[in-house]
Amino acid sequence: MDALRRNGSLSRVEIARLSGLTPQAIRNIVDDLLQTNLIRETGRRKGFRGQPQINIEINPDGGYSLGFHAEAGILHHVAANLGGQIVYEGKSLPIPRSKADMLETIAEIDAKSQHELKGLMRLGVGAVFSRPASSKWFIHEQSPEEFAAQSQALAGYFDEEIVFENDANAAALAESMFGLVRAGGNFVYIFVGEGVGGGIVDAGEPVRGVRGNAGEFGHILIDPNGEKCHCGNNGCLHGYLSIGGLRRKYKDVSLEPSSVPDEWINSAASALGRALVSLENILDPERVIVGGTAPEWLLAEIVSRLARQDFPSVRSELAEQRLEISKLGSRSALLGAAALSLLNVTNPSLAKLTKQSFSLDDIVATPRVNANVKSS
């Protein structure tokens, strides 16, 4: 499945060569996948000597994934098919505060999406949140109890169907399916929204860390004499670059170009430049992408001003663009939520083979030994 997702269309012989499996093994696997409707044959190739090979590709109608993104009190949801195309987008709703009301809202969304997508098999559900895993850090005023009730309602309703992730990792994964890095690869993703986070992707696989918090770039220290951050340190990138930080400093600001002060944009660009140096020197990524729920015009302006300043690193003299802006816009985390289950189906993964995932216990910060590993 991963070979087909990366290459589009292949013959059985080519899949065997790419995977390293025997032709007989590939014939058996392809037959199974054809029966489950996850792939389809597209006809024989023409213009080649000998018996023409039959082309095989992922069947977009083989199933879909439902994705949820909870941010700033709003629950967004979208569905993508196996080909990575958006096939349904529902109305965004205020997040209910109680578990009972949350269950009722989820049931309504589930019924509506299944009605709209009748005939398609659901392959899974993804849910992403704007906060670190296994942490008591809360950017918004929402209480930990409310958050636990909402996330537990999702987990209880969808049971083993659902996969949880933080919004920054999800947005990074969305780049692998819908965005700039569709063929996988090695990149760093900087997520700018109400907070600042990030994702580290190596060969198409997210680097999660022990508790799922690798990529918390918002807490790179920019100025030890800066303002106190909710994490307990002073002068974190979060305070200089996040939309939440902007709103705290300028109470009546909107996200229109005429409303955001030049002073803040210059400060954000300078802080991002300092953080970029550390990321490039430590990780030496193939590319660095910036995106998130912040307006695209604002990201473009920050990147433009950063480019005028001198922040040397091991990557700063590369011929290619040093910092790219995601083309997915403010829906990147939501698209990532839908991509979670699709990538789970199509990506070979050591974590998957060892039953490793980001569990609900990680989300609600319940103490647990080796919380990322589920028993088989």
Summarize pLDDT for 81-106 with one digit per residue, the tens: 988 888 999 999 998 888 899 999 99
Q: How confident is the model at residue 141 (pLDDT cuts 50, 70, 90)?
A: low
Query: What pLDDT was estimated at residue 308?
Result: 83
In CATH, 2-58 is 3.40.50.1820: no
**CATH topology assigned to domain 62-172+332-363:** Nucleotidyltransferase; domain 5 (3.30.420)
* Cβ(197)–Cβ(217) below 8 Å: yes
Query: What pLDDT was estimated at residue 369?
Result: 30
DSSP 8-state secondary structure symbol assigned to residue 330: G
Whole-angstrom distance, CA of residue 201 vs CA of residue 287? 10
Output 346 or 53, whichever has higher pLDDT. 53
Equal CATH topology for 62-172+332-363 and 182-330: yes
Q: What is the pTM of this model?
A: 0.78
Query: What pLDDT was estimated at residue 375?
Result: 31
Q: Where along the chain do its domains lie? A: 2-58, 62-172+332-363, 182-330
CB atoms near residue 159 (< 10 Å): 8
Whole-angstrom distance, CA of residue 82 vs CA of residue 1? 10
Contacts (Cβ under 8 Å, ≥6 apart) of 232: none
Query: What pLDDT was estimated at residue 361?
Result: 52
Q: What SS3 class is residue 317?
A: coil
pLDDT at 341 over 90: no
List strand residue ranges (DSSP E) for the chain, in order: 39-44, 54-58, 64-71, 74-81, 86-89, 93-94, 122-129, 162-166, 187-192, 196-202, 205-206, 287-291, 324-325
Whole-angstrom distance, CA of residue 254 vs CA of residue 60? 40
pLDDT at 13 over 60: yes
Query: What pLDDT was estimated at residue 135?
Result: 54
Summarize pLDDT for 230-268 with one digit per residue, the tens: 888 999 999 999 999 999 999 889 999 999 999 999 999
pLDDT at 150 over 70: yes
pLDDT at 136 over 70: no
Lowest mean pLDDT among 40-49, 202-211, 245-254, 258-267: 40-49
Whole-angstrom distance, CA of residue 49 vs CA of residue 63? 36
Whole-angstrom distance, CA of residue 205 vs CA of residue 185? 8
Query: What pLDDT was estimated at residue 169?
Result: 87
Q: How confident is the model at residue 372 (pLDDT cuts 50, 70, 90)?
A: very low
CATH class of 182-330: alpha beta
pLDDT at 222 over 60: yes
* Cβ(299)–Cβ(189) below 8 Å: no
